[in-house]
Amino acid sequence: MYAEYRLAGELKHRWDVTTWNLHMGMLSSFYRWARDEGLSAAGPFSYRMGKRMADGVLVQVERNLATMRTPRPHTSITYLDRDFSQLFVRALAGLDPDGEPDRHYRGREGARNSAMAGLVLSSGVRRQEFTYLTVHEVPPLPARPSPVPVLFPLAHAITKGQKPRTTWISYGAPADVHQ
């Protein structure tokens, strides 16, 4: 009940993953001390035992199963600036930075290319997912323009780790060319 309250309860009472892990680590240390002092027979947590290398020596470690995994620093997500993404979509459409037709543009299918770039930018699909995406998997436009994003389910066959996921398409894309 405590975990539910702190991780999924009211917003003002929720903790982020790092705060949760800090508190679980403190409780774990307290119960380890109490067990070593003979004040407690056991702690409230389950642990997984494992081995890792530390300074060239194989050591046994335990992992508290009450803690949550956090992303590694190298997996942080970066986003394109709005101005750059708009410039990118316009360039694919054969337009200059001001949105006027570029007389030096020599590409073909500019509308299709810019539409696909807009889809990628507004939905957040990964490169692999986009590569294998078919036109039948893209949800249709809503009947009326809406600020509410449209659910975009992705099949397990094209996603990372072959786990199906759902993302959203914002049809008022930040890279909107038609202004």
Residue 135's pLDDT band, with cuts at 50, 70 and 90, is confident
pLDDT at 148: 84
pLDDT at 174: 44
Segment 22-35 mean pLDDT: 93
Residue 77's pLDDT band, with cuts at 50, 70 and 90, is low
- Whether 94 and 110 have beta carbons less than 8 Å apart is answered as yes
Q: Strands (DSSP E) along the chain, which ranges?
A: 47-54, 57-64, 150-154, 165-169
- Whether 65 and 45 have beta carbons less than 8 Å apart is answered as yes
pLDDT at 76: 66
Residue 176's pLDDT band, with cuts at 50, 70 and 90, is very low
Rounded distance, CA 144 to CA 172, Å?
12
Residue 86 in this model has a pLDDT that exceeds 80: yes
150-154 and 57-64 strand pairing: unpaired
Residues near 82 by beta carbon (within 8 Å), at least 6 away in sequence? 174, 175
